[in-house]
Amino acid sequence: MKNNKYRLIPEDCKINYGRKLYRIEALKDFGVVKAGELGGYIEIETHLSDPVDASGSEHAEGIADPRICNNALISGNAIIYGNAIISNKATVGGNALIYGNALICDEACVYDKAYVYGNVLVCNNAIIRGNAVVSGNARIYGNAIICENARVYGNVMIRGNATIYSNAVLSDNVIIEKDTDWFTIGPIGSRNSFTTFALNKDKSIYVFCGSFHGNIDEFEKAIEEIHKGTKYEEEYKLAIALAKKKITTVETNKITELTNEYIDSLIDKAKKNMYIEPNLKAMTITATFPCGWVISSTANIVSGQEFVEEELRDKCLNDIKSKVWELERYRKTVDNYKKTLK
């Protein structure tokens, strides 16, 4: 389809990231754009949609093969390249950098010096600002805000009214819905830096401290081994206590109470009734629940017929907690869908 909304200005161009970019000029009034108004720099006309309204302003740049469409607004010194898509009423401005396969849509905003890249989705009314960096497969939606020097990556989901700020670092399978789902403190410890505690997918507390990523019990054990008897052990343990006080894990505790006895009975039954071959390295126990769940967990076997019982129990319990969390998410999705049908 021939573009009748704007034209590229051949004499107003520049080179950026090895690409030649042209200034655009509006040919007629559309949306908030007036005829004759100059916009940002793009590489080819197809980078701005024609059937719907999209506008670039002043120093904004679209490089390689991004898509800026609907009523999206790109302004300031923002740079968008790769396969990034900015659509609906989304706004990207300031010195923001968007690239990779990132999708910014709905009424989401990215500005200041924020970086968004990878396979990130930012939608609804979410805001990324400050020096925040969001990457990987992160999903930011609802009224969530990522700001200041926060770093979010991996398979993290931030939603609801949560605000992630300061020097927080969130990764792995963390899911944040409210401000009481996470906590960061610092500078503390041997690194004299920040440590972040957050709810993981299985509703356990996960810790991000330098290169350490793991649950809070593993973190406490590591601290005792590495910093035993030092002021750093005391600092980290105070942070652990504060995180446990602030972050609610009631659901996890209930699941633990309900399943511990059942798992113990399975282990006892296995020890009494199952023959273990002398050279067998691992053993699997299958738990079948009344609701139809079948959970299989495997633990190593040491010194002949001896189980690592604690390992088996922990693995089985984590599998169950994960299953309950997924079921709860599915139930909420179905309930929300039913409401739209009324």
For position 111, what pLDDT does the model report?
94
Residues 20 and 146 in one domain: yes
**Side-chain half-sphere of 304: how many Cα atoms within 13 Å?**
1
Distance set, CA 123 to CA 90, 158, 224 (Å): 8, 11, 42
Contact 105, 84 (CB under 8 A): no
- Parallel/antiparallel/unpaired status of strands 67-68 and 61-62: unpaired
Residues 239 and 268 in one domain: no
Give the span between the Cα atoms of 234 and 217, in whole angstroms: 15
3-state secondary structure of 311: helix
- Parallel/antiparallel/unpaired status of strands 175-176 and 19-26: unpaired
Give the span between the Cα atoms of 149 and 169, in whole angstroms: 9
For position 12, what pLDDT does the model report?
82
Residue finishing a domain among 220, 246, 272 = 246
Residues 55 and 181 in one domain: yes
Structure token pair of residue 152:
């979010």
In sequence order, the 6+-apart residues with CB closer than 8 A to the CB of 309 are: 267, 299
For position 41, what pLDDT does the model report?
63
For position 265, what pLDDT does the model report?
57
Q: Is residue 139 included in any domain, yes or no?
A: yes
Q: What angle do CA 317, 318, 324 make, to 5 degrees?
A: 90
For position 245, what pLDDT does the model report?
87
**Side-chain half-sphere of 225: how many Cα atoms within 13 Å?**
6
The number of folded domains in the chain is 2
Give the span between the Cα atoms of 342 and 336, in whole angstroms: 11
Hey, which residues does 151 pair with through a beta bridge? 133, 169
- Which single residue is written with the structure tokens 């968004």? 116
Q: Is residue 187 included in any domain, yes or no?
A: yes
pLDDT in tens, 107-161: 999 999 999 999 999 999 999 999 999 999 999 999 999 999 999 999 999 998 9
- Parallel/antiparallel/unpaired status of strands 294-302 and 306-307: antiparallel
Q: Is residue 205 included in any domain, yes or no?
A: yes
Distance set, CA 213 to CA 165, 185, 231, 335 (Å): 19, 16, 22, 34
For position 60, what pLDDT does the model report?
57
pTM of the model: 0.65
Mean pLDDT by 10 residues, the chain (342 residues): 68 73 74 71 58 50 61 78 86 89 94 96 95 96 95 95 95 92 92 94 90 93 94 94 81 48 54 46 52 52 47 58 53 52 48
Q: Is residue 235 included in any domain, yes or no?
A: yes
For position 176, what pLDDT does the model report?
94
Q: Is residue 23 included in any domain, yes or no?
A: yes
Other beta carbons within 10 angstroms of residue 216's beta carbon come to 18
Residues 301 and 155 in one domain: no
Residue finishing a domain among 246, 266, 289 = 246
Residues 88 and 201 in one domain: yes
Order of all β-strands in the sheet with 145-146: 55-56, 73-74, 91-92, 109-110, 127-128, 145-146, 163-164
Q: Is residue 1 included in any domain, yes or no?
A: no
Residues 254 and 242 in one domain: no
For position 154, what pLDDT does the model report?
94
For position 130, what pLDDT does the model report?
97
Residues 216 and 149 in one domain: yes
- Parallel/antiparallel/unpaired status of strands 115-116 and 97-98: parallel
Residues in the chain: 342
Residues 133 and 261 in one domain: no
For position 256, what pLDDT does the model report?
47
Residues 204 and 334 in one domain: no
DSSP code of residue 248: -
Residues 40 and 137 in one domain: yes
Residues 120 and 41 in one domain: yes
Residue finishing a domain among 246, 280, 297 = 246
Residues 206 and 326 in one domain: no
Q: Is residue 186 included in any domain, yes or no?
A: yes
For position 166, what pLDDT does the model report?
93
For position 316, what pLDDT does the model report?
59
Range of the domain at 96: 6-246
pLDDT in tens, 240-283: 999 998 887 644 444 444 455 555 555 555 545 444 444 445 55
Q: Is residue 17 included in any domain, yes or no?
A: yes
